[in-house]
Structure 1
């Protein structure tokens, strides 16, 4: 009788676990999509509107540089957001940080939609704009790490790549939503001068609706099981950031460099440079360009999901290496095809470029989570991601504008991106693939050693074989 009674309990438990994993996947997907929607809306508006609306007195060229620099300024505050969220995420939990970062990001974005322009309020308008951008940077610095750990730490070891793809999908899906909203306003609801006068504000104000949706979903998920275990055994690090850099500084640097190329390449499109260049220099229609970028984001999302799944079968490092090779090959053709002035050729270039982006992004959540010990994992993944964002994406659009202004050709931008891609390829090749390693706090001794192929210290033979 006892045996007949146990089976339904096991089935019910298994069903409950799968249901919770689905809730976590939805919470991380919706939350990061909202976060990145907010981020990308700003970047697109910077290239299409803000140079005139907020920086008009300095002239068109310098105004465009400053507008793109305002995109990059937020990246400088990402590490601070990562430090804060990592510290408290390792001490009080992943879920609380997820909810807080969502509210801060969405509130700042909504406020941008209500800002007066320079013509209405003078110098105070760009100052407030920059302060709101800083808040976005603080929020983004803490968002990613929490979402990633909620997804990966809830997942079975053989499905971490797939589970980690859901927070990763937030970036391309956020770009899809942002591009679609901008295209809708520019091409249908507020075409022409109306878009510059008031149409650009609607996508920012729409963020308020998304915040409510994301907040409700994120509040409904359980805390990460790894953090529950850490809290139960009272094994939280007192100062996780200090411990991270004292014991794992080289690992943070390598992890940051892994992300540099993907971030820089991605911000050519998400940071507004490609949209601005295609409209102002090549002469393509603004709405057509926004539609093309929306298409590219869909391809990016598909490639992100498929490569994340592939990393569960073939390993994170191998998939990453292939992704960097595809990205490196696709960089120059993207700009060559764009410069033809044929929108169809732009679509072709974006296709291969987006596949490369997905290949260098899909496995990142699982890769990072398996690199750092449990008690400092939130700090490790958040800070590595934030530093990689600065090295790669912070001022990539600004650098691209400057290079084109100085050289008169996008080949210089291609060379810049290719150099970063080579650096990231070398960096990921220095990481030991630890797919499936036990992420529990009880296995922290193994987690703390051997994440780099150059690190042979204290690695027992049994651990070496597992790695």
Structure 2
């Protein structure tokens, strides 16, 4: 399948669909963190506030530990049956389980069944989420013209910022309908999850109209691998290790800094909710706007590997001054620091679909990407817990946040430099 014969219009439609679906996935995670302080007390009541919060953050980890299992399932059938059907199912299942959280009774109403129910829903979400981001990466890379895989991947990856923008809007809507702390604890946090029906409906409508992957139709439909993940482990085991550790590093930066930002600004800085929403919006608007640009630059410079490593090096070098600004207590400094965070994270994030997708065969691409990113993200989901716990132990949560960010960026940079050489512009395997 020649890259020049692929339809740019169809590739754009797929990238936009992936953008919306990925945005909804991150909407769920960030809304969960936005409501974290309130939900921790409602579902995990304790006489010690930090204990409730830590238990609540562990539900994130439990849900994300289901992702590798879901990744193997969706990757297996995505490689054998095609990308489109599995990708649609992943979004629908993820959306239903997210909105359902808004209907859960609390511990005061049903006792121990409440935390059990929320954990079960997080596990179900994890299984479906596993097919979403990996399916989007696979689909977009395979339908993109060979010389524009970075650009199209960058459009897809901007969806993560869109999810945080939707989450900030949901927070403001909830604050409007539940302006007092008592009202927010009663029903306001539920409004945030119910708001997810809007981005979900938009994403499903766009996704219904996409076509099957042209690369999969040409190279895998007639003779798919019997067990794709076993082929991945047998032929590309070293690539699996390298790529998984890259994802662990970059996703720890995300979950420990970007997604954790609302909770941190509320609990450790005491910033008003309206100012928090603006900082989050600035961060993610910068990310959303620059993501296609950074992806396209990686198509032009002909070295995604060095480009990606440079981004991680810069994140490590600037984490201390930028996060000190972000959590200084100054609203103006937080806005400026948020914009820098959005810019730096967008740089590396935009390149990942093309970077991961170009070094693996079409016959097993969904399985490979699904396994790598879901194992990596499952491990990195410990970041909010790790920052909170380390901050408690050293009595300095801002410093804990900085240390986790630097360590994660160095990890990602190290294994990016150990990755195979680039295949920019070459036809997919």
TM-score tier after normalising by the smaller chain length: over 0.9
CA distance, structure 2, for counterparts of residue 69 and residue 146 of structure 1? 26
TM-score normalised by structure 1 residue count? 0.86
CA distance, structure 1, for counterparts of residue 58 and residue 287 of structure 2? 25
Specify the structure having the higher radius of gyration (Cα): 1
The structural deviation recorded for 1:212 is 3.0
Whether 2:321 is the aligned partner of 1:321: answer: no
The equivalent of 2:359 in structure 1 is: 371
CA distance, structure 2, for counterparts of residue 306 and residue 325 of structure 1? 20
Aligned CA distance change for structure 1 residues 316 and 54 (closer, same or farther; 3 Å):
same
CA distance, structure 2, for counterparts of residue 426 and residue 335 of structure 1? 22
The structural deviation recorded for 1:276 is 2.3
CA distance, structure 2, for counterparts of residue 332 and residue 368 of structure 1? 29
In the alignment, structure 2 segments of 5+ residues that lack a partner are none
> Does the residue aligned with 1:115 lie in a helix, a strand or coil?
coil
CA distance, structure 1, for counterparts of residue 244 and residue 289 of structure 2? 24
CA distance, structure 1, for counterparts of residue 9 and residue 285 of structure 2? 27
The equivalent of 1:41 in structure 2 is: 31
Match of 2:274 among 287, 298, 314: 287
CA distance, structure 1, for counterparts of residue 138 and residue 149 of structure 2? 10
Paired residues of 1:44 and 1:270 also in contact (CA < 8 A) = no
Instruction: List per-residue Cα deviations over 1:134-167 (Å, max 9, x = no partner).
Output: 1111122111111112111111111010111222
Whether 2:109 is the aligned partner of 1:120: answer: yes
Whether 2:294 is the aligned partner of 1:307: answer: yes
Match of 1:107 among 67, 91, 96: 96
The equivalent of 2:44 in structure 1 is: 55
The equivalent of 1:160 in structure 2 is: 149
The structural deviation recorded for 1:269 is 4.3
Aligned CA distance change for structure 1 residues 230 and 208 (closer, same or farther; 3 Å):
same
CA distance, structure 2, for counterparts of residue 367 and residue 293 of structure 1? 27
CA distance, structure 2, for counterparts of residue 339 and residue 158 of structure 1? 41
CA distance, structure 2, for counterparts of residue 124 and residue 146 of structure 1? 33
The structural deviation recorded for 1:405 is 0.4
The equivalent of 1:175 in structure 2 is: 164
Structure of higher RCO (CA pairs closer than 8 Å, 6+ residues apart): 2
Whether 2:243 is the aligned partner of 1:255: answer: yes
Match of 2:388 among 386, 393, 401: 401
Instruction: List per-residue Cα deviations over 1:318-349 (Å, max 9, x = no partner).
Output: 22122112211231123312342111111122
The structural deviation recorded for 1:21 is 2.3
Instruction: List per-residue Cα deviations over 1:351-404 (Å, max 9, x = no partner).
Output: 22222211220100011110111111111111111122133x211000000011
CA distance, structure 1, for counterparts of residue 108 and residue 257 of structure 2? 29
Match of 1:65 among 54, 59, 70: 54
> Does the residue aligned with 2:102 lie in a helix, a strand or coil?
helix
Aligned residues: 422
Instruction: List per-residue Cα deviations over 1:156-214 (Å, max 9, x = no partner).
Output: 1110101112221111110111122113322x332122222211111211223433332
The equivalent of 1:464 in structure 2 is: none
The equivalent of 1:454 in structure 2 is: none
Match of 1:341 among 329, 333, 342: 329
Paired residues of 2:153 and 2:292 also in contact (CA < 8 A) = no
Match of 1:30 among 20, 28, 38: 20
CA distance, structure 2, for counterparts of residue 226 and residue 339 of structure 1? 46
> Does the residue aligned with 1:210 lie in a helix, a strand or coil?
helix
Whether 2:10 is the aligned partner of 1:20: answer: yes
Match of 2:340 among 326, 333, 352: 352
CA distance, structure 2, for counterparts of residue 307 and residue 335 of structure 1? 22
CA distance, structure 2, for counterparts of residue 246 and residue 235 of structure 1? 19
The structural deviation recorded for 1:270 is 4.9
The structural deviation recorded for 1:423 is 1.4
CA distance, structure 2, for counterparts of residue 203 and residue 280 of structure 1? 19
Whether 2:277 is the aligned partner of 1:277: answer: no
Instruction: List per-residue Cα deviations over 1:31-82 (Å, max 9, x = no partner).
Output: 2222222232223222x32111111135311001111111222221111111
The equivalent of 1:455 in structure 2 is: none
Paired residues of 1:307 and 1:358 also in contact (CA < 8 A) = yes
RMSD of aligned C-alpha atoms?
Answer: 1.8
The structural deviation recorded for 1:17 is 2.4
Whether 2:199 is the aligned partner of 1:216: answer: no
* Bigger Cα displacement from structure 2, 399-408 vs 340-349: 340-349
User: Superposition pairs for residues 414-425 of structure 1, below 5 Å?
Assistant: 414-425=402-413
CA distance, structure 1, for counterparts of residue 347 and residue 401 of structure 2? 21
Instruction: List per-residue Cα deviations over 1:279-337 (Å, max 9, x = no partner).
Output: 22222112311221121111222332221111000131122122112211231123312
Paired residues of 1:183 and 1:291 also in contact (CA < 8 A) = no
